[in-house]
Amino acid sequence: MASIDDEIRELEAEIKKTQYNKATEHHIGRLKAKIARLEKVKEERSRKGGGTGFFIRKGIYPNIGLLGPPSVGKSSILNAITNAESRVGAYDFTTLSIVPGVMEHKDMKFRILDLPGVIEGAHEGKGRGREVIAVLRNVDLIVVVLDPFKYDPSYILRELNREGIRINQAPPKMSVILKDRGGLTISRGGKASFDEELFESICREFGIINADIIIRQPMSPETFIDGLLGNRVYIPALFILNKSDVPEFKKAYDYLTSLGLEPVGLSVVERRNIEVLKEKIAGKVRMIRVHLVPSNAPEDEEPMVIREGSTVEDVCRAVHTEFVERFKFATITGSSVRFPNQRVGLEHVVHDGDRLTVFLRKG
Ligand SMILES: Nc1nc2c(ncn2[C@@H]2O[C@H](COP(=O)(O)OP(=O)(O)O)[C@@H](O)[C@H]2O)c(=O)[nH]1
Ligand SMILES: [Mg+2]
């Protein structure tokens, strides 16, 4: 019996040999839907098998993953932008060695993750690439590191894509309501434009026969499939071209620029553009400010600058683990709650400008 990978490879080969034109557009769209469905089956199976098991606790610092081929300078970059004491054995990724470090910039802190190099063919199980890429599903920014000797980003972009990671892209503007009966309607809202017949056959490919779907933007079949599957993650990315001190740099830089990737040129050995890199990283991550207000003193201190999406638990843990262990409840005044001093639990997600007071059990 052909494995799922074989089937996917066959479908991909068929897409490759089919000329793209008006007449074959539908055929290609359906082949892509078939591939997406097989990828989904594969993913569900591997999840049942326990998955890869690497997992990043999100915390209050944004997580930044350094991704790239081996020996382009990822570890050198980690050393250049983080302080040495922040890199010592911070946490345990057991078999996959990921070295974390903390980068400070202005009043913000970022957790930088130096990941093992990814080689071509990772998705088919070469190296530990698949696991490395899977870790990236949980980061706040992907920094793709290349150098003038390995500057072709295409396989890395392909690996990200196959793991369901969409970079520098917004989630599709569409909604899907599944129903028990009534058939399929795909309607337009706002600036929508799409191929209705093709989208219907993509739905059939996924077994969706009763649903109301509303599309609110001009949409390609790929984006439509992403929206139907709903398990894609949308993460910003930054492209670095390291080793600007070597003569081969310019050609590689021009090439990446021609792809529209806006690379940041860098030389770690000559310490060129290190501050620019920090600035760019900080600029790509969404941060919020939260004020911790002690219950017995109304005036607030310097706000904490933390990653968007942090919870009360993340904030408490950052102050002291006791704050989590002895946590009774917290009160918040701000946009994350409906009324001032509303009581919230550890799982509550805080917003920019929130004023937070934590109440602890007597220890
Ligand atoms: N010429 C040049 N070499 C560099 C630069 N940064 C790192 N290297 C060298 O590239 C090699 C690989 O670096 P490393 O940080 O271990 O790469 P990693 O495998 O991506 O972590 C080492 O020999 C570094 O000294 C740079 O800016 N310029
Ligand atoms: Mg390294």
Using the predicted structure, report yes or no on whether residue 363 has a pLDDT greater than 80.
no
Q: What is the pLDDT of residue 54?
A: 56
At 138 the three-state DSSP class reads helix
Q: Using one digit for the tens of pLDDT, what is the confidence trace for 163-194?
A: 899 999 999 999 998 888 999 999 999 888 99
Ligand 2 center from residue 149 Cα (angstroms): 16
pLDDT of res. 294: 87
Per-residue pLDDT reduced to its tens digit, 39-52: 887 777 665 544 44
CA–centroid distance, residue 261 to ligand 2 (Å)? 23
Q: Is the CB of 148 under 6 A from ligand 1?
A: no
Task: Say if residue 148's pLDDT is above 90.
Answer: yes
Rg (CA), the chain: 23
Q: 345 or 84: whose pLDDT is higher?
A: 345
Superfamily holding 287-360:
Beta-grasp domain (3.10.20.30)
245 lines ligand 1 (CB under 6 A): yes
Q: What is the pLDDT of residue 299?
A: 63
Report the separation in Å between the CA atom of 81 and the middle of ligand 1, taken as the mean of its atom positions: 14
Identify whether the C-beta of residue 242 lies closer than 8 Å to the C-beta of residue 270: no
pLDDT at 48: 52
Q: What is the pLDDT of residue 199?
A: 95
Probe residue for ligand 1, chosen from 66, 67, 71 as the CB with the greatest number of ligand atoms within 8 Å: 71
pLDDT at 92 over 50: no
Q: CA nearest 67: which of 149, 127, 153? A: 153
pTM value is: 0.84
Which ligand is nearest to the Cα of residue 98, counting in written order? 2
Q: Which residue has the tokens 């892209």?
A: 169
pLDDT of residue 223: 94
Q: Residue 161 Cα, ligand 2 centroid: separation in angstroms? A: 23
What's the fold here for domain 63-169+233-284?
Rossmann fold (3.40.50)
Residue 97, ligand 1, Cβ within 6 A: no
pLDDT band at 283 (very low <50, low <70, confident <90, very high): very high
Residue nearest (by alpha carbon) to ligand 1 atom 3: 243
pLDDT at 126 over 70: no
Q: Domain-by-domain residue ranges, the chain?
A: 4-51+172-229, 63-169+233-284, 287-360
Output the pLDDT for position 344.
97
Rounded to the nearest angstrom, the distance between the alpha carbon of 118 and the centre of ligand 2 is 11
What single letter denotes the amino acid at residue 204? R
pLDDT band at 262 (very low <50, low <70, confident <90, very high): very high
Ordered DSSP codes for 292-325: E--TT--S--SPEEEETT-BHHHHHHHH-HHHHH
Per DSSP, what are the bridge partners of residue 177? 212
Q: 82-96, 129-143, 189-203: which range is least confident on average?
A: 82-96
Least confident span in 4-8, 78-82, 261-265, 270-274: 4-8
Share of the chain above pLDDT 90, in %: 63
Q: Which atom of ligand 1 is nearest the CA belonging to 69?
A: 20
Q: What is the pLDDT of residues 14-42, one digit of tens each?
A: 998 988 888 888 889 989 988 888 888 77
* Mean predicted lDDT score pLDDT of the chain: 88
Q: Is the pLDDT assigned to residue 104 strictly greater than 80?
A: yes
Instruction: Report the C-alpha gap between 68 and 281 in whole angstroms.
Output: 16
Phi, psi of 214 (to 5 degrees): -120, 130
Q: What is the pLDDT of residue 261?
A: 96
At 35, the amino acid letter reads I
Q: Does 76 contact ligand 1 (Cβ within 6 A)?
A: yes
Q: What is the pLDDT of residue 235?
A: 96
